[in-house]
């Protein structure tokens, strides 16, 4: 995994190759096919954006870190760019892993129509599950289907959580709680002695020292508004680097046998 300060998330809509505003004239015959293993599109990235209310659930599966100039919270799913240790090539997500809402909303996404100050529901025409006559139609008699309305509701909820996440990140930045950290792996030499440490990633994380140094009234404020619980979920999640390393070794093991 390379330096996550240069996050590919900035300025891009990750996963979406051809997003188009939903239009009954253009998309009236389109539908979305159900798939048992629909997550192949996630398999080519090692980080996925996360909303703050997902921290606790995601912490059981992945490191939750902050990246880029905007300190975007993301989950780390692999140790190298283009590698995902939780999604198989056929699109099967590990059954014990949390699936972020950013992934679950696909192939739908909101686009910001700044001129008219509104959000427009779009669909990724490049998604393999979007097809003419698909199982779940987008429109019925020229009107959004129940399936599309559910997607709209999900995206609305996601947008609210995204805004809540921005407020959380601003709060911890205003309190100067973030520090640069490194994920380091120390291999074992054949004789059992520790090898040379290897830097896996550089990222932003909450500093426990800075957190402890906050005035009591500020800590009470973080507790009462729920931010403190999310901070601790993030801190606990950092133990997940060891799991990523173990999964990487497991994936390499079959190749090393052949």
pTM: 0.86
Per-residue pLDDT at 8: 32
11: pLDDT confidence band, cut at 50, 70 and 90? Answer: very low
pLDDT of 250 reads 83
Q: Which residue in the block uniquely carries the two structure tokens 């950092």?
A: 238
10 Å Cβ neighbour count for 20? 17
Q: Which pLDDT does position 254 carry in this prediction?
A: 55
Model confidence over 55-111: pLDDT tens digits? 999 999 999 999 999 999 999 999 988 899 999 988 999 999 999 999 999 999 998
Alpha-carbon dihedral sign for residues 241, 198, 43, 106: positive
Partner residues linked to 136 by β-bridges: 32
188 phi/psi in degrees, rounded to 5:
-100, 135
* 66 C-beta neighbours (distance < 10 Å), count: 22
Q: Which residue has the tokens 């992945």?
A: 62
Q: Mean pLDDT throughout 120-143?
A: 94
Q: What is the DSSP string of 124-151?
A: ETT-TTEEET-SEESEETTEE-HHHHHH
What pairing do the DSSP bridges indicate for beta strands 47-49 and 72-76? Answer: antiparallel
pLDDT tens-digit readout, 142-195: 999 999 999 999 999 999 999 999 999 999 999 999 999 998 887 777 777 777
Q: Tell me what pLDDT residue 198 has.
A: 81
Peptide bond preceding 107 in cis form (omega within 30 of 0): yes
Q: Using one digit for the tens of pLDDT, what is the confidence trace for 196-217?
A: 778 888 999 999 999 999 999 9
pLDDT, greater one: 166 or 113: 166
pLDDT score, position 113? 77
253: confidence class by pLDDT, cuts 50, 70, 90: low
Contact 1, 78 (CB under 8 A): yes
* Residue 258: pLDDT over 50: no
Number of helices and strands in the chain (H, E): 8, 13
């Amino acid at each position: 995994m390379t330096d996550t300060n240069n996050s590919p998330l900035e300025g891009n809509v990750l996963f979406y190759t051809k997003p188009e505003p939903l239009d009954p004239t253009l998309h009236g015959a389109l539908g979305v096919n159900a798939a048992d293993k629909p997550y192949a599109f996630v398999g080519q990235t090692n980080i996925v954006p996360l909303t703050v209310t997902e921290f606790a659930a995601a912490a059981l599966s992945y490191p939750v870190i902050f990246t880029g100039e905007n300190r975007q919270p993301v989950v780390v799913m692999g140790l190298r760019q283009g590698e995902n240790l939780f999604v198989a090539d056929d699109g099967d997500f590990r059954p014990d892993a949390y699936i972020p809402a950013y992934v679950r909303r696909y192939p739908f996404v909101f686009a910001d129509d700044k001129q008219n100050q509104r959000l427009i529901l779009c669909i990724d025409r490049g998604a393999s599950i979007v097809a003419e006559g698909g199982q779940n139609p987008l429109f019925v008699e020229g009107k959004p289907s129940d399936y599309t309305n559910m997607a709209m509701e999900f995206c609305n909820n996601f947008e609210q959580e995204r805004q809540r996440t921005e407020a959380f990140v601003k709060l911890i930045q205003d309190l100067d709680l973030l520090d640069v950290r490194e994920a380091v792996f120390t291999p074992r030499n054949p004789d059992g002695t520790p090898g040379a440490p290897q830097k896996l990633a550089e990222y932003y994380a909450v500093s426990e020292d800075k957190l402890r140094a906050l005035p009591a009234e500020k800590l009470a404020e973080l507790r009462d508004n729920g931010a403190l619980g999310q901070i601790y979920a993030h801190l606990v999640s950092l133990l997940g680097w060891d799991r990523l390393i173990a999964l990487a070794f497991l994936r390499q093991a079959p190749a090393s046998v052949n």
